């Protein structure tokens, strides 16, 4: 069994079988990162490019490590140092890279649809590392991996995602993936941050966080971008933290086994209090699992079969 496409552009349209395959494959690769010699030859001789149009340390590092642990040759291109500054179009940049015979291009871009645009025009595999507000599939996959690891399953669980849903690719990818795996998703935030038609994607909407976390199995907090205040989306950090911040008392409203997640980086004291972040959350497990998931995705897209992962 393998992934249908040469690309990973989003969670929408991915089947439950494909998701399960990726999670199972990641479980095998997680062990590699525990070893003294953190390397397997699966992608030896392959060339992987990280094409990041948006600043990112953790995601890029995570992909870089994933590629290197698979023995691939990994090159990082970030736009501030590249020909993009000279006005080169997205397509020209990607074609030039492909002309150097790259096997896989990992793209992060501030415009939704950019990875899809490239995937249609390049022979290389394209992995979406986050496009605009649209999707961030490897984040959703590592989130689902973490939930499955901690709670043993995904089907039938309730996951509450809190924050700026409207501008969140993490939220969208998680909604698609979790619903496909049979989980229930609640989204919570101020009405200004809940996009129209989000219910059509399968999520239930809450404006009241106390109700949204009632009995939930997983709370996933999203980072508040402070610039949204000037757009009138919320009146100030103090009020936002009071209404939508995850503190100990809200954690206690959730299920006893609740796990607390955050894609990072956190605004301590805004969307999540320090004591919850440091004592109750699985944020660091998410980071660890991120490398394993990205190894799995890169392995599977380059045609690797599950059995040869070791």
Partner 1 sequence: MNILIKNGWVLDPANQVDEKLDLLVSDGKIAKLGKPGSISANDAQVIDAAQRLVVPGLIDMHVHLREPGFEYKETIATGTAAAKAGGFTSVCCMPNTSPVNDNRSITEFILSQARNAPARVYPIGSITRGSLGEELAEMGELRAAGCFALSDDGKPVMNASIMRRALEYSKIFDLLIIAHCEDVSLAAKGVMNEGAVSTELGLRGISRAAEDVMTGRDLLLAELTGGRLHIAHVSTIGSVRMIREAKLRGVKVTAETCPHYFTLTDEAVRGYNTMAKMNPPLRTAADVAAIKQGLRDGTIDVIVTDHAPHGMDEKAGEFDYAPFGIVGLETSLGLTLKLVDEGVLSLSEAISKLSANPAAALKIDKGTLDIGADADITIIDPEVQWTVDSSQFKSKSRNTPFNGWQLKGKAVQTIVGGRF
Site string for partner 1, 176-195 (x = CB under 8 A): -------------------x
Angstrom CA distances, 72 to 45, 102, 126, 203, 308, stand at 6, 11, 15, 38, 16
Specify the residue, 115 or 290, whose C-beta has the smaller distance to partner 1. Answer: 115
Specify the residue, 135 or 217, whose C-beta has the smaller distance to partner 1. Answer: 135
Site for partner 1 in 118-147 (CB under 8 A): 131-135
Site for partner 1 in 53-82 (CB under 8 A): none
Residues linked to residue 131 through DSSP beta bridges, in sequence order: 109, 135
For 127-130, which contacts have Cβ atoms below 8 Å and span 24 or more sequence positions? 127/7, 127/8, 127/63, 127/297, 127/298, 127/301, 128/7, 128/8, 128/9, 128/10, 129/50, 129/52, 129/56, 129/59, 129/60, 129/63, 130/54, 130/56, 130/59, 130/169
* Assigned token pair, 219: 């709370």
Specify the residue, 10 or 67, whose C-beta has the smaller distance to partner 1. Answer: 10
134 near 111, Cβ under 8 Å? Answer: no
**Should residue 229 be labelled a site residue for partner 1 when binding is judged by CB under 8 A?**
no
Which SS3 state, helix, strand or coil, does residue 68 take? Answer: helix
Specify the residue, 191 or 197, whose C-beta has the smaller distance to partner 1. Answer: 197
d(CA 276, CA 238): 18
- Name which position in 81, 89, 230, 307 contacts partner 1 (CB under 8 A): 89
d(CA 189, CA 145): 25
Angstrom CA distances, 206 to 141, 150, 161, 211, stand at 24, 25, 10, 7
d(CA 29, CA 295): 7
Tell me which stretch binds partner 1 (CB under 8 A): 85-93, 249-257, 281-289, 296-304. 85-93
**Should residue 287 be labelled a site residue for partner 1 when binding is judged by CB under 8 A?**
no
Tell me which stretch binds partner 1 (CB under 8 A): 58-66, 76-84, 111-119, 150-158. 111-119
Residues 6+ apart with CB under 8 A from 87: none
Site for partner 1 in 34-53 (CB under 8 A): none
- Name which position in 108, 169, 186, 262 contacts partner 1 (CB under 8 A): 169
At its nearest, how many Å lie between partner 1 and the CB of residue 80?
18
- Name which position in 18, 116, 143, 217 contacts partner 1 (CB under 8 A): 116
**Should residue 114 be labelled a site residue for partner 1 when binding is judged by CB under 8 A?**
yes
For the purposes of burial, counting CB atoms within 10 Å of the CB of 208, is it exposed (0-12), middle (13-18) or buried (19 or more)?
exposed
Specify the residue, 30 or 172, whose C-beta has the smaller distance to partner 1. Answer: 172
**How many other CB atoms are found less than 10 A from the CB of residue 240?**
24
Which single residue is written with the structure tokens 């645009």? 117
* Assigned token pair, 264: 């990072």
**Should residue 240 be labelled a site residue for partner 1 when binding is judged by CB under 8 A?**
no
**Should residue 219 be labelled a site residue for partner 1 when binding is judged by CB under 8 A?**
no
Specify the residue, 179 or 287, whose C-beta has the smaller distance to partner 1. Answer: 179
**Should residue 109 be labelled a site residue for partner 1 when binding is judged by CB under 8 A?**
yes
**Should residue 227 be labelled a site residue for partner 1 when binding is judged by CB under 8 A?**
no
Specify the residue, 119 or 246, whose C-beta has the smaller distance to partner 1. Answer: 119
- Name which position in 45, 87, 191, 197 contacts partner 1 (CB under 8 A): 197
At its nearest, how many Å lie between partner 1 and the CB of residue 230?
12
Positions touching partner 1 (CB under 8 A) are 12, 89-91, 109-114, 116-117, 131-135, 166, 169, 172, 195-198, 200-201, 231
């Amino acid at each position: 069994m393998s992934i249908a496409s040469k690309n990973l552009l989003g969670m929408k349209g991915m089947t439950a079988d494909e998701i399960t395959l990726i999670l199972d494959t990641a479980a095998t690769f997680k062990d590699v990162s525990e070893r003294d010699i953190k390397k397997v030859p699966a992608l030896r001789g392959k060339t992987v490019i990280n094409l990041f149009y948006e600043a990112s340390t953790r995601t890029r590092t995570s992909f870089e490590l994933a590629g290197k642990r698979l023995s691939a040759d990994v090159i990082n291109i970030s736009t501030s140092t590249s020909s993009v500054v000279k006005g080169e179009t997205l397509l020209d940049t990607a074609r030039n890279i492909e002309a150097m015979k790259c096997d896989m291009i990992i793209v992060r871009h501030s415009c939704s649809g950019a990875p899809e645009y490239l995937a249609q025009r390049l022979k290389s595999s394209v992995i979406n590392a986050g496009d605009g507000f649209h999707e961030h599939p490897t984040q959703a996959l590592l989130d689902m991996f973490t939930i499955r690891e901690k709670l043993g399953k995904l089907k039938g669980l309730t996951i509450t995602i809190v924050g700026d849903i409207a501008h969140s690719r993490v939220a969208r990818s998680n909604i698609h993936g979790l619903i496909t795996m049979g989980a229930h998703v609640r989204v919570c935030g101020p009405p200004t941050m809940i996009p129209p038609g989000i219910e059509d994607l399968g999520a239930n909407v809450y404006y009241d966080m106390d109700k949204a976390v009632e009995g939930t199995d997983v709370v996933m907090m999203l980072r508040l971008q402070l610039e949204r205040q000037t757009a009138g989306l919320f009146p100030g950090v103090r009020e936002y933290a009071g209404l939508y911040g995850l503190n100990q008392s809200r954690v206690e409203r959730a299920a006893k086994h609740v796990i607390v997640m955050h894609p990072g980086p956190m605004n301590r004291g805004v969307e999540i209090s320090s004591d919850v972040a440091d004592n109750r959350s699985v944020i660091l497990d998410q980071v660890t699992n991120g490398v394993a998931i990205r190894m799995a995705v890169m392995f599977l897209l380059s045609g690797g079969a599950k059995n040869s992962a070791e």
